Amino acid sequence: MAKYRKKPVVIDAINFDELVEIGRASGAPLYDGMAWSFEYQGQPITQENDECYLIPTSEGLMNFTPQDMLITGVKGEIYPCKLDIFAATYEELDANSHA
């Protein structure tokens, strides 16, 4: 059986508070300080409750909570990732890194 290594990729990711700020800055109507509905990376984001946004993915709607990071993948797709899995999989690049 052959073995494979995952190719290194550089992704963009934001946390829940950053998405809340993007929603507020979008000018969308606010509910309890959170944008009710807005676009992020060309995708419609909808508030489910005070600690959850609904994220459209190729696998259907997924919950994005303060316990997640929101990843923008190599093809521009967005999807949530649990913080512990994110920390085990990704390391932050310094501002001068390009890959």
pLDDT digits (tens, 9 = 90+) for 32-81: 899 999 999 999 999 999 999 999 999 999 999 999 999 999 899 999 99
Contact between 34 and 94 under an 8 Å Cβ cutoff? The reply is no
Which residues on neighbouring strands pair with residue 81, listed in sequence order?
Answer: 69
What is the predicted pLDDT for the residue at 4?
A: 84
* Confidence at 93, pLDDT banded by 50, 70, 90: confident
pLDDT given for residue 97 in this prediction: 63
The answer to whether the CB of 83 falls within 8 A of the CB of 64 is no
Spatial CA neighbour of 69 closest among 24, 33, 30, 19: 19
Taking the CA atoms of residue 78, residue 57, residue 45 and residue 98 in that order, the dihedral angle to the nearest 10 degrees is 0
Q: Does pLDDT of 29 surpass 70?
A: yes
pTM to 2 decimal places: 0.87
pLDDT band with cut points at 50, 70 and 90 for residue 8: confident
